[in-house]
Amino acid sequence: GERNPIEGKFGQAKNGYGMNRIRARLKNTSQSWIASIILVLNLVKLAGMALPCLSFSAWKDLKNMLRNAIRQILEIQKIQNQPRELSGLVL
């Protein structure tokens, strides 16, 4: 039962990331491919774990950044539409 998660990761690496399709001629090249696939597996897992942590700590900053960006866009549109409003073409 202890090896089930490990075997599952090997299965994921073989089916999802092509570890079973490595056809390198040199031993070092094969080891590099395997290490790269394992690195990708770890990065995917870390990214999944980091997303909830990031969301709790950064939501307030992200919300403020979006709010400021929207305000800037609205100000730019207001300035661009100002000559039209003065000409009477815009209601």
Q: Is the model's pLDDT at 58 over the cut of 70?
A: no
Residue 39's domain comprises 5-81
**Residue 53: which H helix or E strand, with range?**
helix 27-87
Does pTM top 0.85 for this prediction? no
Q: Is the model's pLDDT at 5 over the cut of 80?
A: yes
Q: Is the model's pLDDT at 90 over the cut of 60?
A: no
Which of 4-18, 49-63, 68-82 shows the highest mean pLDDT?
4-18
* Residue 48: inside a domain: yes
* Residue 46: inside a domain: yes
Averaged pLDDT for residues 62-68:
78
- Residue 31 has a pLDDT of 87
* Residue 34: inside a domain: yes
Whole-number Å distance between alpha carbons of 70 and 58: 18
Contact 16, 44 (CB under 8 A): no
Total structural domains in the chain? 1
Contact 32, 22 (CB under 8 A): no
* Residue 89: inside a domain: no
Write down the residue that tokens 């549109």 correspond to: 77
- Residue 57 has a pLDDT of 59
* Residue 90: inside a domain: no
* Residue 12: inside a domain: yes
* Residue 91: inside a domain: no
Of residues 60 and 7, more confidence is placed in 7
Contact 82, 90 (CB under 8 A): no
Q: Would you state the torsion angle of the CA atoms of residues 68, 70, 71, 77, taken in this order, to the nearest 10 degrees?
A: 150
